[in-house]
């Protein structure tokens, strides 16, 4: 029985594939690129595009899929598309476990990720619901949001995809980080780099303009603006923190250590 990985070329998908390759679980990486990118040369791949429903059967023709890691597409409203795929996978191919990659801002029944979470709940399935100029820009204001390394998210996803039903039962989501504010992040940059880094708080309009100038697609920028504004309101701070070290079998990556590993990029 094979695990299907969507978003296989991204940071989380790649990290999860690396972890799964060290286990006995067969995997299949879905990609919309033809031919598949070189980064997937070591794993079986299949052509599947969120926005082209004619490609949805391809993974199930290629292998017997029992579990799916869901990373939603960057479209204005991904929930209807993802929910339709979930229904297709369960109805036609009896897939009984999904691991949904969302964010700490997600609330069951709420917008975007919350709609997918709510849909999964109705399906009664087992599931677990991501300077150099001296400035950091964001629309989070003084709000705090969980920071987490991709390898830790991948570790939690690996657990959710491979653990037995009894261990998974009753668990709706796994929150994998302590809340950190943008000012704290800026202070950490200052300490590690040895020069002053400040956080610049943006309005929703300013944040959208900033992200578009960075090259974000309009739809993706809109999602980031919404999440950061939601965080600014303090909504994410109410999400309970869960220590996942027992699940992933090692200490979680600290932001300070992660940044120390990569500081050369900002020097």
Domain boundaries defined on the chain: 2-130+150-168
38 backbone dihedrals φ, ψ, rounded to 5°: -60, -25
Cα–Cα dist 159/95, whole Å: 17
2-130+150-168: which CATH number, 3.40.50.720, 3.40.50.300, 3.40.640.10, 3.30.230.10? 3.40.50.720
Of 147, 141, 146, the C-alpha closest to 232 is 141
Quote the pTM value: 0.62
Sequential pLDDT tens for the chain (267 residues): 899 999 888 888 888 899 999 888 899 999 988 888 888 989 999 999 988 999 999 999 999 999 999 887 776 677 788 888 988 998 899 888 888 776 544 454 454 454 444 545 554 443 333 266 688 888 888 888 777 787 888 888 888 888 887 777 666 555 555 667 888 888 888 888 888 988 899 999 999 998 888 777 677 778 788 888 888 887 766 666 666 788 888 888 888 888 888 787 776
């Amino acid at each position: 029985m094979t695990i299907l990985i969507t978003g296989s070329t991204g940071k989380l998908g790649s990290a999860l594939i690396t972890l799964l390759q060290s286990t006995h679980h067969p995997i299949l990486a879905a990609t919309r690129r033809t031919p598949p990118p070189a980064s997937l040369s070591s794993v079986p791949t299949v052509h599947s595009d969120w926005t082209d429903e004619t490609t949805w059967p391809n993974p199930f023709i290629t292998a017997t899929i029992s579990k799916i890691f869901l990373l939603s597409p960057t479209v204005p409203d991904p929930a209807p598309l993802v929910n339709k795929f979930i229904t297709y996978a369960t109805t036609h191919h009896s897939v009984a476990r999904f691991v949904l990659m969302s964010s700490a801002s997600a609330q069951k029944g709420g917008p975007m990720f919350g709609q997918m979470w709510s849909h999964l709940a109705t399906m009664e399935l087992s599931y677990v619901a991501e300077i150099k100029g001296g400035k950091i820009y964001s629309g989070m204001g003084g709000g705090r949001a969980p920071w987490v390394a991709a390898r830790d998210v991948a570790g939690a996803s690996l657990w959710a995809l491979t653990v037995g039903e009894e261990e998974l039962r009753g668990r709706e989501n796994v929150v994998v980080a302590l809340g950190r504010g943008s000012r704290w992040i800026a202070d950490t940059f200052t300490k590690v780099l040895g020069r002053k880094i400040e956080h610049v708080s943006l309005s929703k309009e300013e944040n959208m303009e900033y992200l578009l100038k960075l090259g974000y697609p309009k739809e993706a920028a809109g999602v980031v603006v919404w999440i950061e504004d939601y965080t600014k309101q303090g909504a994410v701070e109410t999400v309970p923190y869960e220590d996942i070290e027992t699940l992933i079998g090692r200490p979680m990556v600290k932001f300070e250590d992660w940044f120390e590993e990569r500081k050369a990029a900002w020097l």
